[in-house]
Amino acid sequence: MRSILRHKDEKEYFADIAPEDIRDALLTSFDPGVFDMELLRAKLYAIIDPHNPSRVQLPEARIVEGSYLGTQLALTQAYSRIEQT
């Protein structure tokens, strides 16, 4: 039967919207705790000496690879933290 309102069956629908690999899934936001841990793990936070706050150890690492969307989300998260301070 021909119809303009025909919908795809469930398998066809999900095949169109779901990525084949998890690495292809779009990232819509970061979990703040995971974001903090990744920054610490990658040594991207400056470390302040609790006994002498004027002594600051600058971040050691650099990010060398990433997606445009991931970078955009990370920068948005980082800027929102800067605005809160």
Domain boundary assignment for the chain: 29-84
pTM: 0.45
DSSP state of 4: T
Please, what is the Cα angle at 81 between 79 and 85, to 5 degrees? 115
From residue 42, give the alpha-carbon distance in Å to each of 3, 47, 77.
55, 13, 16
Amino acid of residue 27: L
Q: What is the pLDDT of residues 8-52, one digit of tens each?
A: 888 888 777 777 777 777 767 778 888 888 888 888 778 888 899
pLDDT in tens, 60-78: 777 777 777 777 788 888 8
> Taking the mean position of all CA atoms in its chain, how far away is CA 28?
8
CB 55 within 8 Å of CB 48:
yes
